[in-house]
Each structure stands twice: as C-alpha cells, then as structure tokens.
C-alpha cells in the first residue's frame, strides 16, 4: 500500500545520504509543497515543530511504499515522531516531528532547510 511522506530535511531531493537515496529509489517524487510549522537548525539537520499561522515549511512530497516507513523510523531515531499532517496541496502525509526541546535553537526563518 502506498503512503505519502513529506520531507523537509536530509531526506529531500538534493541531499546525498543512504536514506535520501532509499526514498528516491523506492518512492516517487510527487511535488514540492509546504506545511504549517517551524523548523529549527540542529546539528546538521532540521527539526520540525507544528504551529499554525507560522511561515510555511518547504519540502518534498513523495509517494512511498508503506514498508519504507520502518526503515525511516530507524533513521530518524527517538527524537522524532512520525505523525500525519495536511500539506498545502491538500494531501495528507506522514512527517517526522521533532519532539525534544527547541529552547535556544535557531529558527530557519526561510522555512527551507535546503536554502536557509
């Protein structure tokens, strides 16, 4: 069964790591879109926190096999929780939400980790 995944960080197109390559190889890019929230700069990767009325977070929407989600859960680790979100293009998708405290972390004001 196919699922939708919204990627906003190192899983996006243009990033070169084994898991972004896995998403590209096993999934299908649908389109660029946005979600409401804020992304924070962490140690070389971003953390998404949902928030209504903030600048949109930019990312890539993929159609992926459900079986890929377990691999991605392992990649994201315990600081991220996979949750559903509605994208600006009207597609409900999985997203990895950062669950650790963000106090003192820098906001990526552009909403785009690929183009801060």
Interval 77-111: pLDDT, tens: 999 999 999 999 999 999 999 999 999 999 999 99
Q: Which of 14, 16, 19 is CA-nearest to residue 80?
A: 19
More confident residue, 110 or 55: 110
In a domain, 82, yes or no: yes
38-41/106-107 β-pairing:
antiparallel
Q: What is the DSSP letter of 55?
A: P
- CATH of residue 22's domain is 3.10.490.10
In a domain, 38, yes or no: yes
Residue 52 has pLDDT above 90, yes or no: no
* Domain count of the fold of the chain: 1
């Amino acid at each position: 069964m196919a699922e939708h995944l919204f990627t906003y960080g190192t899983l996006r197109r243009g990033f070169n790591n084994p898991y972004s390559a896995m998403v590209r190889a096993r999934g299908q890019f649908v389109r660029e879109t946005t979600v409401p929230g804020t992304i924070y700069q962490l140690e070389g990767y971003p953390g998404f926190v949902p928030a209504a009325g903030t600048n949109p977070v930019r990312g890539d929407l993929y159609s992926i096999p459900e079986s890929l989600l377990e691999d991605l859960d392992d990649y994201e680790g315990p600081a991220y929780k996979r949750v559903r979100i509605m994208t600006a293009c009207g597609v409900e998708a999985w997203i990895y939400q950062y669950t650790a405290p963000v106090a003192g972390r820098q906001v990526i004001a552009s909403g785009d980790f690929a183009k801060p």
